[in-house]
Chain A
Amino acid sequence: MLTCFIATKGGATLDQFLQQIVNGVSLGSIYALVALGYTMVYGIIKLINFAHGDVYMVGAYVGFAVTTYLGLGFIPALIISMVTCAVLGMSIEKIAYKPLRNSTRIAVLITAIGVSLLLEYTMMYFVGPEVRSYPKLLSPKVFKFGNIIINMQQIYIVLTTIVLMIILQYVVNKTKVGKAMRAVSADKDAAQLMGIKVDNTISFTFAIGSALAGAGGVLVGIYYNSIDPLMGMMPGLKAFVAAVFGGIGSIPGAMIGGLSIGMLETLVSGYGNSMYRDAAVFAFLILILILKPSGLLGKNTKEKV
């Protein structure tokens, strides 16, 4: 009887573990989408774009607006939100970052923080600081595999992320613009000498990154069911941690990083204390930075004199 008891208990813990992994993958996919924007922008102009988390917040609100007031479905909401965020990202770059291209990194960083505050509080001014509940866009259907529960939202989140990442990989590796992006991030001056329009390429990078953040915003709205104007801060920082973990500047790295951070978070909440969730992510970051500062897939750069 005792062995029987242990067996069922063992089964339950395994189920619980797998359930946490499922939750972690869906949360991690969202982080991965946001992390991609960070890593692409950092790769190209070496800027921690603090406003990126807030672009994601704007994406969530656009999704909320078109579904609630226009009654659109999931796919149109996702596309409209991505387009709006792409335009927003490009305008932020043109207005706030482009004039500072030749000044110190810290000045650009402070500007990014300024843009972040501006987006947060402008949004708060117009929609109010209260938390809103997201409309139910997907059927509440739940799939059961043994004791593991996977709901429709999680399937949609993972599928959307996979599709977007395949498109991104295609754009970056197979198209001319993608080639230009890679060239600019490798050496801006050389790229310019080769006739690549650096400014346009940077704008395009911001557009793609912001569109992915917008998609992430809609997905997180669906997943957590609630949005508020300050929702972008913490996930933004965590997505940045994900980008650093995967190796900043590396697109596959951002995907792996996002999934790892998502899983770490759900495992800490599931097994330990959910209050320590954020601390665990940052402790992990510090550990990574000390052990392998270039991240999992990042390139080691030699110090030049």
Chain B
Amino acid sequence: MKVLNKRNILTLIIIVAIYALVQVLITTKVISSFYEITIATICINIILAVSLNLVTGFTGQFSLGHAGFMSIGAYAGALVNMSMKSTTGFLIGIILGAIVAAIVGIIIGIPTLRLKGDYLAIATLGMAEIIRVVFLNMEITNGAAGLNGIPRFTNWLWLYVFTVLTLILISNFVKSSQGRACISIREDEIAAESMGINTTRYKVMAFALGAFFAGIAGALYSSYFYFINPTMFGFQKSIDILVIVVFGGLGSMTGSVIAAVLLAVITTLLQSLSSLRMIIYALLLIVIMLFRPQGLLGTKEITDMFKFGKKYERVE
């Protein structure tokens, strides 16, 4: 298949068009700085949700510790960025954060991924708590007070570039033979194993990849919001990410994107009702799960509904 086929060119045009549109809206002040924060949140949440979806939705490994990897990226990115106050430093910070998060993902993944279902969920939760406590007690991370005055290099361009890169890389991974192996583990681990798939290897691979992108999101986050502390990356954050993934549909990347946008919009709209905000959020969560337990899109992608160019069969 040629790289420059009709489908890819169309996708490229859409990607550039969305970038240009939002950039114009920001420069002409149609989108105020208040809503810019919402956009940043959306982009960071998309990266987090899509990377968690790779682990939980596509590979079927239930992780409750995604915020732990995000915090590693955030701290690594912030520390590099504070000592090298330039765009190069910012990019090095992001890459370093992602790599460290992926390495920690591998180290944690090898023993814990032997566990299944709820046990894995609790083990990953525990590991994220341990990461948080370590940051709380380390000298270099300034303990509970956290890091302050991180230079802001994250802007719409970088947010968009990294979000699009994450989406393209993960969707290509899912369509690759490794990705297919991951899906087969979700569908039936024993059957996959008997077909000769090294399940541990692919589980750890998906976990490390998920951690890598969570690290990127963390580094973007720290550079956008100037300030990080360990409390930001607690159990609640992991839950927030998981909620986006489940709301959009486990195993649906476009679902995660739509859910990230919708939830960020809902949170922004509810901002004025400060005290009732969380109550409404919780009720919404329960109601969505009661009436649509498979999430908005289930395992389907939105692109399945409008197929451009050549038809292809999706493996469900």
Pairing of A with B? yes
Which candidate, A64-72, A118-126, A155-163, A193-201, is the interface stretch facing chain B?
A118-126
Given contacts A276-B133, A289-B123, contact A111 B278 (CB under 8 A): no
Residues in chain B near residue A116, CB distance under 8 A: 282
Q: A237-B125, A244-B119, A293-B119 are in contact. Are A278 and B112 (CB under 8 A)?
A: no
| Contact in complex: A106, B119 (CB < 8 Å) | no
Is there a chain A Cβ closer than 8 Å to B164's Cβ? no
* In contact, A279 and B235 (Cβ under 8 angstroms): no
What DSSP secondary structure best describes chain A's contact surface? helix
Nearest-Cβ distance from residue B104 to partner chain A, whole angstroms: 14
Contact A111 B275 (CB under 8 A): no
Given A100-B289, A240-B122, check contact A107 B137 (CB 8 Å): no
Q: How far is the CA of A121 from the CA of B272 in the complex (A)?
A: 16
- Choose among B134, B275, B289 the residue that contacts A107 (Cβ–Cβ < 8 A): B289
When distances are taken between beta carbons in the complex, the residues of chain B under 8 Å from A46 are 118
B122 and A117 within 8 A (CB): no
Q: How far is the CA of A109 from the CA of B286 in the complex (A)?
A: 10
The 8 A CB mask of A178-217 against B (1 = contact, 0 = none) is: 0000000000000000000000000000000000000000
Q: A114-B282, A117-B285 are in contact. Are A100 and B293 (CB under 8 A)?
A: yes
State in angstroms the CA–CA spacing of A121 and B281 once bound together: 10
Q: Are the CB atoms of B112 and A276 closer together than 8 Å?
A: no
Q: Would B190 and A290 count as touching, CB distance under 8 A?
A: no
B161 within 8 A of A: no
Is B13 positioned at the interface, with any CB of A under 8 Å from its CB? no
Which listed residue (A114, A117, A285) contacts B123, Cβ 8 A? A285
B149: interface (CB < 8 Å): no
B122 touches A290 (CB 8 A): no
A113 at the A/B interface (Cβ < 8 Å)? yes
| Candidates B125, B250, B282; contact of A121 at CB < 8 Å | B282
**Given A233-B235, A279-B129, does the pair A118, B279 have CB atoms closer than 8 Å?**
yes
With contact pairs A100-B290, A100-B293, A279-B134 given, residues A113 and B250 touching in the complex (Cβ less than 8 Å): no
CB-CB < 8 A to A111: which residues of B?
Answer: 285-286, 289-290
In the complex, whether A303 has a CB less than 8 A from a CB of chain B is yes
Q: Flag whether A164 is at the interface (Cβ < 8 A).
A: no
- Nearest CB on B from A287, distance (A): 9
Report the stretch among B2-10, B27-35, B84-92, B238-246 that lies at the interface: B238-246
Complex contacts, B56 vs chain A, CB 8 Å = 106
- A48 close to chain B: CB less than 8 A: yes
The reply on B136 being an interface residue by CB < 8 A is yes
Within 8 A of A (CB), among B64-122: 111-112, 114-115, 117-119, 121-122
B294 on interface, CB distance cutoff 8 Å: yes
Distance in Å from the Cβ of B25 to the closest Cβ of chain A? 33
> B58 contacts the other chain (Cβ, under 8 Å)?
no
Known contacts A114-B285, A278-B129; is-contact A104 B243 (Cβ 8 Å):
no
> Is there a chain A Cβ closer than 8 Å to B265's Cβ?
no
* Residues B282 and A115 in contact, CB atoms below 8 Å apart: yes
Report whether B62 and A106 are in contact in the complex, using a CB–CB cutoff of 8 Å: yes
Question: A103-B293, A110-B289, A237-B235 given as contacts; is B281 within 8 A of A289 (CB)?
Answer: no
Decide yes or no whether A9 CB sits under 8 A from chain B: no
Q: Which residues of A contact B119 (CB under 8 A)?
A: 244, 289, 293
CB distance from A260 to the nearest CB of B (A): 15
Instruction: Check: B283 CB closer than 8 A to any chain A CB.
Output: yes
Asked if B279 contacts A283 (CB within 8 A), the reply is no
Contact A113 B285, CB 8 Å, known A289-B122, A290-B112: yes
- Enumerate chain B residues within 8 angstroms of A285, measured Cβ to Cβ: 122-123, 126
Central interface residue in B126, B250, B276, B290, by most chain A CB within 10 Å = B126
Write out, one digit per residue, whether chain A residues 239-267 have a CB within 8 A of any chain B CB (1) or not (0): 01100100000000000000000000000
Q: Is the CB of B130 within 8 A of A114?
A: no
B62 cross-chain contacts in A, Cβ below 8 A: 106
Min CB gap B126→A, angstroms: 3
Q: How far is the CB of B170 from chain A (nearest CB, A)?
A: 20
Whether A110 touches B130, Cβ cut-off 8 Å, given contacts A237-B125, A285-B122, A290-B111, is: no
B242 cross-chain contacts in A, Cβ below 8 A: 110, 113
What residues make up the interface of A, taking CB atoms closer than 8 Å to B? Answer: 42, 46, 48, 96, 99-100, 103-111, 113-118, 120-122, 124-125, 233, 237, 240-241, 244, 273, 275-276, 278-279, 281-283, 285-286, 289-290, 293, 303, 305
A-B contact pairs, 22 of them (CB 8 A): A48-B118, A96-B286, A100-B290, A103-B293, A110-B246, A111-B290, A116-B282, A120-B278, A121-B278, A122-B279, A125-B279, A233-B235, A237-B129, A275-B136, A275-B137, A279-B129, A282-B130, A286-B126, A286-B127, A286-B130, A290-B115, A293-B115
Residues of chain B touching chain A, judged by Cβ–Cβ distance below 8 Å, are 56, 62, 111-112, 114-115, 117-119, 121-123, 125-127, 129-130, 133-134, 136-137, 190, 235, 239, 242-243, 246, 250, 275-276, 278-279, 281-283, 285-286, 289-290, 293-294
